[in-house]
Amino acid sequence: MELLKHCMLCPRKCGVNRYKEKGFCNATNRIKLAYYSTHMWEEPIISGTRGSGTIFFSNCNLRCLYCQNKKISIDGYGKYISNKRLKEIMLELQNKKVHNINLVTPTSYVPQIISVLHKIKNKELKIPVVYNTSSYENVGTIIACRNLIDIYLADLRYYNDKLGEKYSNCKNYFETATMSIDEMYRQVGKIKLDNEGMLKKGLIVRVLIIPGEIEDAKKIINYLYKTYKDNIFISIMNQYTPINTCKYNNLNRKLTKEEYDEVIKYALSIGVNNAFIQEEGTATESFIPDFNKNIL
């Protein structure tokens, strides 16, 4: 694939020939998967009663210091597969009656993914496709997914770009991510539910509250509500899970109930209606898939 010979898929713009070398994300020209399974722990309108067919891609172009999936995003755990095998996995998950196909951290493999989807979307593959991303994307990469993605499940991690540089070694995170999210919304529009109350088209933006950074989370929520009102869902997450010892002390603890409650009260005070709120107990390693399972 020509795009992989001078890779500019993400804002890192490494420009490497992925057939010969690796850029920031460590991806080659081949798809690398860590895990796929029926997943019950996404937002209720994604997981429903039968689960979301999640496909976890190895490697990541953001690589946050606090990543709970470090084993696959940074350490690169996984197995190389062919485009044909990716197609088979999607159809295998569909046969398990999942509500959707959920592509987790797909950015580095968009050319391969769209090649597969062009062949099977609305043909063999008849359920919605979810693009599950950190939003540190080039708009052009999101444009390439037009008419192939039904649901965008996007993070908005930082309002203050200094936090992006501090925790994820990325510049201009907010502007970059919001431009990408704008394109996602242009593609899928307002929330559309099916007869079961499941999301069939639309945008969910996740706000993972980082311990000690609740003012930044409030600014993100304010931006999202002012921009999209209740035409999207905002998922306000308390599941920050300290996995590794970091040089920043606030990253080595869980979010407090008081911090989370303050952010929720703020969201309610500005009028947010379409929001997902997590219960206590989600900040635990039990919510992280067991990537040691050899199921590929």
Q: Please give the Cα distance from 40 to 185 (Å, whole number).
A: 25
Over 80: is that where the pLDDT of 266 sits? Answer: yes
Q: Which residue segments constitute the domains of the chain, with CATH numbers given?
A: 2-287 (3.20.20.70)
DSSP codes, 5-42? GS--SSTT-----TTT---TT---SSEEEEEEEEE--S
Average pLDDT, the chain: 94
User: Would you place residue 246 in the very low, low, confident or very high pLDDT band (cuts 50, 70, 90)?
Assistant: confident
Contact in structure between 136 and 35 (CB atoms under 8 Å): no
Q: What is the pLDDT of residue 293?
A: 55
Burial status of residue 124 (CB atoms within 10 A of its CB: 0-12, 13-18, 19 or more): exposed
Q: What is the pLDDT of residue 286?
A: 37
For the CA atoms of 166, 172, 178, 183, the dihedral, rounded to the nearest 10 degrees, stands at -130
* Total-model pTM: 0.94
Q: Please give the Cα distance from 130 to 154 (Å, whole number).
A: 10
- DSSP assignment, residue 272? -
- In 96-169, alpha helices (H): 110-120, 139-143, 161-168
Tens of pLDDT, residues 98-113: 999 999 999 999 999 9
57 SS3 class: strand
The arithmetic mean of pLDDT across residues 192-198, rounded, is: 97
Q: Please give the Cα distance from 234 to 204 (Å, whole number).
A: 6
